[in-house]
């Protein structure tokens, strides 16, 4: 074969390696740009509208308060040849008072921005030429062309108006959408050329072009920096980066040189708009993206390869491990099927906050399909897995059978009552959203029934809350209930004092949080006791019924009992007929496959793996995610014929537990924290682990609000039996059953 053929062959053979390195990086950059535009864009849009509205509205108020001055300006300073001075004064003040209000709220934005744009140009060419007026006009022109963003009444009302009976509403919306579609890119091109001319042609400042171009705004920039940036803006190449650099240079030049720029704030807003929105389709940036998307279709959300005949990977369970595994397989040449009994991914570590009214279920759950919307090789199925046919390599999903070449079991765990399942009716645990809402119902109903109780002993029993289990869930539940009683509803009742509620935490072992160092365990105990929680260690629960709990031979009247003492794995081991430990977890090999079944893997709470310095991997979210990513690497290596990765090793990232609103404990091995620093770290870590930007923002604002106001979320009592504090054993048993 000749040299040219050898080169072509080498290029073909190198393409998968190139894709593995280049495509993830490009996808990350494009996703980041889209995320910035979607999240920061509406906020910047609101800031710009507020700034413009404030400037024009204040000007209108000043003129209205000094009407003679306004008339004089209309006659002498900036007369409009085609309008009578009095009419011009009334028109100008009317525009400055009415249009800014519409612009601020984003109502009829284009209609409001157009008169303001004309007024800005009249001031520039009939009164006094300043960069400020030109920048106003540039920003207002954007709103005439594009309209307001997502944080506006236009965006809020558009869907309803489109389907309303209002005359011409649909036609007007179609026209505005057409303007956005056809004029946005040409306007961005003109905007870039306008800024580039102001940067690169300062010699024209003394000519008539000085009235049209923002020369003064860039006067302090050195030519060596201005000209290259002008070229980049003209070509639309690395436009976002050029806009950011310009923002920094203009601000830095003004501060270091002691130069007062004419309109640094307006210029910064305009450059920020270009940095976030981008250069538009008429640019080299857009052409380069189109070229890359043509070479790598997955960058455009299109299938990069045909799924027919590819290896089939079935993942059962959309918890932390299942999601991590599916996400890591997004670019592998495989057909991936993700199955879960719910249509949402649940962030279980914050379930206790839903149970204690601090958060809403929607804050800690995210639809699975939305997470995999752009994963063309991943199919999401809603259903209840009842078994696995290993002989035929099929997952049993109701009446349907899903074939697999590789099976990943990430089925999680449910509550374990250590053989005393009759306790389930009286002591619910926390594993699902339904569990959290049931616990919330019981907690709130206990206070309501105590308010109505006539018997003092019954009232005390109703206001006694007992949590079984001193692990992280039990500690966090006890602290949250104490906070709820003392700071959330202390003024809501007339006959009872919620702050007198008795919270008891029972731990069978000698100390709380046995997985943490003893010093941190002691600090957690002290923090709980400061909140008024009674901590009973070395205490064995002997019985639980509708009247209360018997602990170490002593009966404790408690109408609300919560279970946080243990879990049992899903029936995955029974499906496979494989060996399991006492908690029902599948014993797996060093590569997390089931012994004797190299095509079946188990991760998270489903698996028992001695991969943590010879110890069992803990049932934590980071462990499940690490396992999911590792199994994806194993499957990828087998599909691509590469060397298998080394045996799985769990990397412990630390343990955290929070106690109330200002204390927590954290152990990272090399450092240990407690108190407020650990509490802040706990909050940051949990927000970072959440799936979805909306959930992170929502929880952040909820936490800030409740922290500053001592107010929790809506305390609604819901459920099948809103007046009964003890559901039937059958109901809870059905709720606790695992279905894949």
Query: With contact defined as beta carbons under 8 Å apart, do 540 and 508 qualify?
Result: yes
pLDDT confidence of residue 353: 86
Q: Indicate the average pLDDT of the chain.
A: 85
Q: Which of 142-156, 359-373, 656-670, 695-709 bottoms out in mean pLDDT, i.e. has the lowest? A: 695-709
3-class secondary structure, 649 = coil
Kindly state the average pLDDT of the residues 134-140: 95
Q: Render pLDDT for 316-352 as a digit per residue (tens, 0 to 9).
A: 999 999 999 999 998 899 999 999 999 998 888 888 8
Query: With contact defined as beta carbons under 8 Å apart, do 430 and 414 qualify?
Result: no
Does the structure show a pLDDT above 70 at 158?
A: yes
pLDDT band at 424 (very low <50, low <70, confident <90, very high): very high
Does the structure show a pLDDT above 80 at 204?
A: no
pLDDT band at 727 (very low <50, low <70, confident <90, very high): very low
Which string of b and e fits 690-713 if b means at least 16 CB within 10 Å? bbbeebbebbeebbeebeeeeebb
Tokens standing for 106? 């984003």
pLDDT confidence of residue 707: 53
Most confident of 200-204, 262-266, 330-334: 330-334
pLDDT confidence of residue 731: 40
Strand segments, DSSP code E, in 109-259 are none
pLDDT confidence of residue 83: 74
Does the structure show a pLDDT above 90 at 390?
A: yes
Kindly state the average pLDDT of the residues 281-309: 83
3-class secondary structure, 74 = helix
Most confident of 162-166, 431-435, 582-586, 632-636: 632-636
Q: How many percent of the chain have pLDDT more than 70?
A: 86
pLDDT confidence of residue 468: 97
pLDDT confidence of residue 440: 93
Residue, of 684 and 470, whose pLDDT is higher: 470
Does the structure show a pLDDT above 80 at 412?
A: yes
Cβ-Cβ contacts under 8 Å for 399 (sequence gap 6 or more): none
Q: How far apart are CA 539 and CA 543, in angstroms?
A: 12
Q: How far apart are CA 701 and CA 707, in angstroms?
A: 10
pLDDT confidence of residue 217: 78
pLDDT confidence of residue 251: 77
pLDDT band at 255 (very low <50, low <70, confident <90, very high): low
pLDDT confidence of residue 488: 64
Kindly state the average pLDDT of the residues 160-168: 74
Task: Say how far residue 501 (Cα) sits from the centre of its chain.
Answer: 35
Most confident of 59-73, 632-646, 681-695: 632-646
Kindly state the average pLDDT of the residues 299-311: 79
Residues recognised as catalytic: 476
Does the structure show a pLDDT above 80 at 669?
A: no
Q: Which of 89-93, 405-409, 714-718 bottoms out in mean pLDDT, i.e. has the lowest? A: 714-718
Q: Which of 267-281, 357-371, 616-630 bottoms out in mean pLDDT, i.e. has the lowest? A: 357-371
pLDDT confidence of residue 702: 59
Residue, of 36 and 468, whose pLDDT is higher: 468
pLDDT confidence of residue 657: 83
Does the structure show a pLDDT above 90 at 182?
A: yes
Q: Which of 3-12, 420-429, 430-439, 647-656 bottoms out in mean pLDDT, i.e. has the lowest? A: 3-12
Task: Say how far residue 179 (Cα) sits from the centre of its chain.
Answer: 32
Q: Render pLDDT for 430-452 as a digit per residue (tens, 0 to 9).
A: 999 999 999 999 999 999 999 99
Kindly state the average pLDDT of the residues 292-297: 80
pLDDT confidence of residue 671: 81
Does the structure show a pLDDT above 80 at 686?
A: no
Q: How far apart are CA 589 and CA 570, in angstroms?
A: 19
Q: Render pLDDT for 511-539 as a digit per residue (tens, 0 to 9).
A: 999 989 999 999 999 999 999 999 999 99
Residue, of 226 and 577, whose pLDDT is higher: 577
pLDDT confidence of residue 208: 59
pLDDT confidence of residue 343: 94
Does the structure show a pLDDT above 90 at 541?
A: yes
Q: How far apart are CA 648 and CA 631, in angstroms?
A: 9
pTM for the full predicted model = 0.70
Strand segments, DSSP code E, in 476-553 are 502-506, 533-536, 541-545, 548-551
Strand partners of residue 534:
504
Q: Render pLDDT for 9-68 as a digit per residue (tens, 0 to 9).
A: 344 334 555 566 677 788 778 888 888 888 899 999 999 999 999 999 999 998 888 888
Query: With contact defined as beta carbons under 8 Å apart, do 586 and 572 qualify?
Result: yes
Q: Render pLDDT for 555-564 as a digit per residue (tens, 0 to 9).
A: 999 999 999 9
pLDDT confidence of residue 131: 87
Closest CA to 545 of 722, 418, 719, 726: 726
Does the structure show a pLDDT above 60 at 695?
A: no
pLDDT confidence of residue 34: 86
Q: How far apart are CA 736 and CA 474, in angstroms?
A: 19
Query: With contact defined as beta carbons under 8 Å apart, do 556 and 550 qualify?
Result: yes
């Amino acid at each position: 074969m000749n040299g040219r053929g050898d080169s072509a062959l080498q290029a073909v053979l190198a393409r998968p390696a190139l894709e593995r390195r280049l495509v993830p990086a490009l996808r990350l950059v494009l996703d980041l740009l889209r995320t910035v535009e979607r999240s920061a864009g509406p906020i910047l849009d609101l800031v710009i509208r507020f700034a413009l509205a404030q400037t024009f509205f204040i000007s209108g108020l000043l003129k209205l308060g000094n009407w003679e001055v306004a008339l004089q300006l209309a006659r002498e300073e900036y007369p409009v040849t085609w309008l009578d001075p009095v009419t011009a004064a009334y028109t100008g003040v009317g525009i400055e008072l009415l249009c800014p209000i519409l612009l601020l709220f984003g109502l009829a934005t284009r209609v409001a921005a157009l008169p303001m744009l004309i007024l800005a140009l009249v001031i520039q060419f009939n009164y006094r030429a300043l960069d400020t007026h030109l920048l106003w006009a540039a920003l207002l022109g954007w709103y005439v062309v594009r309209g307001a963003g997502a944080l506006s009444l236009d965006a809020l009302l558009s869907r309803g108006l489109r389907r309303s009976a209002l005359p011409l509403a649909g036609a007007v919306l179609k026209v505005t959408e057409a303007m956005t579609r056809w004029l946005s890119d040409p306007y961005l091109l003109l905007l870039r050329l306008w800024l580039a001319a102001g940067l690169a042609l300062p010699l024209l400042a003394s000519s008539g072009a000085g009235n049209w171009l923002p020369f003064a705004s860039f006067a302090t920039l050195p030519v060596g920096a201005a000209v290259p940036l002008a070229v980049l803006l003209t070509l639309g190449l690395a436009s976002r980066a050029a806009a950011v650099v310009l923002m920094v240079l203009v601000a830095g030049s003004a501060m270091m040189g002691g130069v007062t720029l004419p309109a640094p704030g307006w210029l910064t807003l305009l450059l920020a708009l270009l940095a976030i929105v981008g250069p538009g389709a008429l640019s080299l940036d857009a052409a380069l993206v189109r070229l890359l998307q043509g070479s790598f279709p997955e960058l455009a959300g299109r299938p990069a390869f045909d799924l027919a005949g590819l290896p089939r990977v079935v993942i059962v369970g959309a918890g932390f491990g299942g999601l991590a595994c599916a996400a890591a397989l997004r670019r592998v040449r495989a057909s991936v099927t993700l199955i879960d009994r719910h249509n949402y991914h649940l962030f279980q570590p914050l379930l206790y906050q839903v149970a204690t009214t601090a958060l809403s279920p929607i804050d800690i759950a995210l639809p699975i399909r939305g997470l995999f919307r752009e994963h063309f090789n991943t199919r999401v199925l809603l259903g209840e897995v009842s078994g696995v046919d290993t002989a035929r390599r099929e997952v049993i999903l109701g009446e349907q059978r899903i074939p697999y070449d590789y099976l990943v079991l990430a089925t999680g765990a449910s509550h374990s009552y250590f053989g005393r399942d009759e306790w389930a009716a009286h002591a619910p645990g926390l594993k699902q959203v339904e569990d959290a809402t049931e616990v919330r119902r019981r907690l709130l109903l206990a206070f309501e029934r105590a308010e109505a109780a006539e018997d003092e002993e019954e009232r005390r029993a109703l206001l006694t809350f007992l949590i079984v289990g001193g692990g992280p869930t039990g500690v966090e539940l006890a602290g949250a209930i104490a906070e709820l009683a003392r700071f959330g509803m202390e003024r809501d009742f007339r006959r009872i004092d919620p702050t007198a509620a008795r919270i008891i935490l029972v731990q069978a072992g000698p100390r709380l949080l046995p997985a943490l160092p003893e010093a941190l365990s002691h600090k957690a105990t002290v923090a709980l006791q400061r909140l008024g929680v009674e901590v009973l260690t070395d205490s064995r629960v002997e019985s639980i019924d509708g009247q209360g709990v018997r602990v170490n031979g002593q009966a404790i009247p408690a109408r609300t009992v919560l279970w946080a003492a243990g879990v049992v794995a899903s029936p995955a081991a029974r499906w496979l007929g494989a060996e399991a430990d006492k908690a029902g977890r599948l014993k797996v090999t060093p590569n997390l496959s089931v012994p004797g079944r190299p095509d079946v893997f188990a991760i998270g709470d489903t698996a028992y793996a001695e991969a943590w310095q010879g110890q069992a991997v803990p049932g934590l979210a980071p462990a499940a995610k690490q396992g999911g990513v590792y199994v994806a690497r194993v499957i990828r290596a087998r599909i691509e014929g590469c060397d298998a990765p080394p045996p799985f090793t769990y990397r412990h990232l630390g343990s955290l537990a929070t106690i109330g609103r200002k204390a927590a404990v954290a152990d990272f091995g090399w450092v240990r924290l407690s108190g407020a620093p650990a509490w802040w770290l706990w909050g940051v870590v949990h927000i970072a682990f959440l799936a979805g930007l909306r959930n992170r923002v929502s929880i952040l604002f909820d936490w800030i609000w409740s922290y500053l106001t001592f107010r929790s979320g809506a305390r609604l009592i819901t459920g099948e039996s809103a007046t009964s504090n003890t559901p039937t054993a059958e109901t809870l048993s059905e709720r606790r059953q695992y279905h894949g």
